Amino acid sequence: MQEAVFNALADLAHTTSGQIIPASKAYLVEARLAGIARREGFGSLEDLVHCLESRQNPVFRAEIAAALLSRDTWFFREPGSLETIIRSRLPERLAASPSGRVRIWCAGGSTGQEAYSLSMLLDETPAGLAGAKVEILSTDLCKVATEKGRQGIFGHYEVQRGLSIHRLLKHFTRLESGDWQASEALRSRISFRVHNLLEPAGGLGKFDIILCRNVLTEMSRSARARVAESLANQLAPGGLILLAQGESLHGLTERLEPASEVRAGWVAAGTANAKVSAA
């Protein structure tokens, strides 16, 4: 790949999603855009970049930027963190909620495996949570990934990553295509929306629990700071933000601090040791 072509695509990724793609990973750019290049009849990525620069098509630019994002996700990734959410924080938030409703946001949720994992865990919780009003929203920059999550259809390789045979047979149906579709019961708890984490999220509302895991790592520091502020804006009083193990918001915002009892958890500044308050 020509250096100018790589630089143009890396700049697009950075300005659109905050993602930094080092030159050493130019091969990932080629792999992630190969399908679009074939579909559009481009003979090379140079032709694709020329089209981007000459036609100024915002829809196509958004599709290219979304395709450049890492999509490595699977069911029940870091399962201990998910179980902490369902078995500890969720009951606390339900008890504190006047409406009996809890909202969970999977920010940068890709094709929805994280959201579906939460939905499955809800089916396996103690009877005390039966009938609880739990709303799960999964958002992603990529329209294609979001629509795939909404349909809840996954290939054989995808369901093999993190799903036990028991959960697969209980919660999914084998389609004639050979793919597997999540049950209506799982899908009914989850809504999907296209959203760029670098953009204001006020229209999404407030959330009791926000999962933003394995999203910040590849972003520039300035982009991570914007996301941290956005997450703080959408966090309901007494709520929790959960990152992936090894991720941190240190130095990115003064509005959040590490949770005292949840690893990789963050809460509103000054509340780490406070009791869960009303939503």
Per-residue pLDDT tens digits for 144-182: 899 999 999 999 999 999 999 999 999 999 999 999 999
Contact by Cβ (8 Å): 182, 172: yes
Q: What percent of the chain has pLDDT over 70?
A: 95
DSSP string, 116-164: HHHHHHHHTS-GGGTT-EEEEEEEES-HHHHHHHHHTEE-HHHHHTT--
Is pLDDT larger for residue 213 or for residue 95? 213
Q: Detail the DSSP E strand segments found in 3-157.
A: 101-107, 133-140, 153-154
- Looking at the fold, whether 59 and 120 belong to one and the same domain comes out as no
Q: Give the tens place of pLDDT for each residue, 109-152.
A: 999 999 999 999 988 876 556 567 899 999 999 898 999 999 99
Total domains in the chain come to 2
* Same domain? 60 vs 89: no
Q: Is the pLDDT of residue 278 over 60?
A: no
Domain that holds residue 9: 3-67
Q: What is the pLDDT of residues 220-231, one digit of tens each?
A: 999 999 999 999
Distance CA 231, CA 206 (A): 9
> 10 Å Cβ neighbour count for 98?
7
pLDDT at 199 over 90: yes
Same domain, residue pair 148 and 203: yes
Residue 63 and residue 83 share a domain:
no
pLDDT at residue 277, rounded to an integer: 43
Output the pTM of the full model.
0.90
Give the per-residue pLDDT at 128: 56
